[in-house]
A and B are shown apart, each in its own frame.
Chain A
């Protein structure tokens, strides 16, 4: 196929158009008499002038330079790139014409869907109540940390200005706590990424508002001391926040609420199969235990007198987190997924995700250095190749995978593992797909020994090859300029 390399602006020719509008059917006035000239733009909007066919071909051509879950195996650790069911997309389109402020009596179906979804998620996580308002995982984390602060403020416990974050956590955890106005106390993890109880005890005090934990942790290991951790934090007057990034490992087996967590967030675009959209939109519901329900974001969706309502009268709420009620069309997709899978299907999904990860872990551990030797949950983490003499890095392995037609795993995360390669297969991949991937990973390990230079310069046949990222940052070109 021909290599396509145009920007939409480079297709533009004066006088072409891709749109049509009906002729205006009301009496018109001179526009300058309505909008005074000094309030009008003088500069060209520089939008392209292109025909509809130009636009369609352009975007189809650039879409061919992308790799999605529908293209092939996408084992990006910590991102849960499972298959995105097509019925979810169709169901989301059933609600496209609803205005967020149209009368409550005319959106009872939409509100009922939201109410039921939040009940489903509360049951899945063991929390008392779930708000669907946050727009993404990091937004859910931020909401969770605001709730933590609101709780201590309500108790007039203003000393609690610090939050404990293990060094194995996602970068968003400390960043979200900081945006919510907390100071971060980082504690060193054990080698397997689990919480070091001694370090935790030393960090706890009456200045600690709470702790942010991922369980299973970012190394895919379950915190076996979780009950001791929750007891210690609660005894010290703190709250526990659960990062739901890894919920796909434990559905039907164990619930964050039963482990003693007070606040959680979920990523509907991970565990609940909604598409990642090239980086969004996602959805990051926040759930809380009973003693924190009043702090959930505004408005609260409630069922009263046989009607679903958006209750804005919630004085202890942290407040609004956006203009409306969250990413509704994403919620429809997650709701559709839960109905399709049902109570047994969700549990089966987690079990198969964990089986797939353990299968990969065992099959690859003769060539790649396991970060932790032992059973994992939904993902496994390696510390580069076992044979360190080749000089082949995690990045080179990733680029080799691109050359052989795969998306790469997450690399260089978690930060506590040198040359981390984090593989999350998800439950939607078959044994055949896993075996083919294992064969390619082994082939890469072999090439690393025989011809490391090949990997250091890979990929070769992708739409573009390795990029000069330093140049992009040193001399930023962030928009197209004609005649550059």
Chain B
């Protein structure tokens, strides 16, 4: 039998075997001990034609609700994605290449990584960015390991207002890697500054805070960053890069290392991945960064060119002494974010931020005006907000799913104290009509 991805004809196989004096393909496997060989066929489906495969996948798609109107965010955001992104990222010169080990024939990849690094630095106000990380949560764990290595201290103070899944990921890494995590409580939905300052001591490598935080609120690390630095600790900020169209940059605030999830920059929801972690820092820490970094140089003819650089940090050279075990980046996702940022541009990023803020606040005001809903936190927020209700979450969910809408996330699944607290998200994609319908359905529930 021949397969469409395998070009060998029976004749080819015979020719090749004869040319190299081998009697059969089996002879290449003779060194495998008989006792471990698989002596049966795989228990897997038989080969399928393209049409059959498509049908099977379409059946799986149809078992999902694929066109829900999302009022849920919590780390994954339903934003508008310009059409141009998929046309550029589906060029196979980009997506069928690998890590640019041969820079002479990989300038396309290297140049967009350089552009990506530039945009991430300019957005965050930081000096240096790497070529990207797996996702937001792992970028935060890497930032922490970087901070423990810089400060030679072993403990991090982590805001409880970070995404619970990110805190869990940080804990996973910490348990095995050996750093200690202490979670700081929140007060009015923001990190409890008094508790934070009380716990700053000479063991603390870094304070980790996200902005906007898990509740959508805008944290203000500017008010305590000096005390962190006085303690010779670092400030790690985990930010939603989209929000930096409006919000104060980590650079302006004085952060030392910045990480986060950049899915909001033109990357589809795709049931949670692939997404795009990013990591950037002050320039004095560049040699402590994990992952690939692209730099500018010249070729022998003096032309501007780009190349992976500062590789003495990495596993293929340093092995167990490397800054990180990471060997890849999320290059194609970094390209998506780069094209998104180029497309939205200087003015568009600000405009999209304003639309998020205005629409979320419109929805917020209308929901908290309903008799069965009330506000929870008073501080300013970006595109997510928490409301409390006396209606059971399951009832809300069923009612909205009937309308093809997905409500915000029930926070009671993470914290018993937050039972019937819902984290709503409203992006620029939601129309007034959709928001009004949401409010109408919520208002009709008892």
Contact = CB atoms under 8 A, between A and B. Distances in A.
Interface in A446-484: 457, 459, 462-469, 471-473, 476-480
Contacts of A90: 54
B349 A321 contact: no
Given A319-B168, A471-B297, A21 B91 contact: no
Interface stretch (B106-114, B200-208, B225-233): B106-114
A62 B345 contact: no
Contact of B300 (A89, A410, A457): A457
B244 A149 contact: no
B418 interface: no
B115 A467 contact: no
B419 interface: no
A478 B406 contact: no
B299 A341 contact: no
A279 B47 CA distance: 29
A27 B366 CA distance: 11
Contacts of B33: 224, 226-227
B251 A43 contact: yes
B6 A428 contact: yes
Nearest to A401: B102
Contacts of A315: none
A345 interface: yes
Given A137-B327, A465-B300, A56 B134 contact: no
Interface string B189-228: 0000000000000000000000000000010101000000
Contacts of B88: 55-56, 59-60, 63
A68 B92 contact: yes
Contacts of B349: 45, 47
Interface string A312-345: 0000001111111111111010011011111111
B272 A100 contact: yes
B362 A227 contact: no
Contact of B96 (A70, A402, A427): A70
Contact of B273 (A19, A38, A273, A327): A327
A29 interface: yes
B7 A430 contact: yes
Contacts of A233: none
Interface residues of B, number: 206
Contacts of B61: 94-95, 109
A454 to B, nearest CB: 14
B231 to A, nearest CB: 24
B378 interface: no
B114 A480 contact: yes
Contacts of A145: 176
Interface string B1-40: 1011111100011011101111001011111110111100
B432 interface: yes
A368 interface: no
A370 interface: no
Interface in B272-308: 272-275, 286, 292-301, 303-305, 307
A358 B361 CA distance: 65
B175 A319 contact: yes
B268 to A, nearest CB: 4
A387 B65 CA distance: 64
B351 A467 contact: no
Given A179-B145, A342-B44, A62 B102 contact: no
Contacts of A330: 273-274
Contacts of B62: 109
Contacts of A129: none
Interface in B302-343: 303-305, 307, 309-312, 314-322, 324-333, 335, 338-339, 341-343
A145 B14 CA distance: 44
Interface stretch (B124-132, B152-160, B368-376): B124-132
A110 B293 CA distance: 34
B327 A171 contact: yes
Nearest to B343: A18
A81 B101 CA distance: 14
A343 B42 contact: yes
B355 A21 contact: yes
Contacts of A105: 401
B441 interface: no
A89 to B, nearest CB: 7
A44 B346 contact: yes
Contact of A177 (B70, B109, B320, B347): B320
Interface string B118-160: 1101110100110110111110000001000000000000000
Given A137-B327, A466-B300, A52 B84 contact: yes
B298 A36 contact: no
A138 interface: yes
A71 interface: yes
B44 A19 contact: no
A229 to B, nearest CB: 11
A239 interface: no
B252 interface: yes
A98 B269 contact: yes
Contact of A66 (B108, B244, B271): B108
18 contacts: A24-B359, A26-B435, A43-B251, A69-B96, A103-B401, A106-B401, A120-B44, A171-B316, A179-B324, A226-B33, A254-B32, A279-B330, A280-B331, A322-B169, A340-B50, A429-B7, A431-B16, A465-B303
Given A98-B270, A102-B72, A467-B305, 19 more contacts: A65-B105, A94-B66, A97-B269, A99-B406, A136-B326, A138-B315, A181-B177, A226-B36, A227-B36, A252-B38, A252-B42, A278-B335, A280-B329, A318-B172, A343-B47, A351-B28, A402-B105, A467-B104, A479-B129
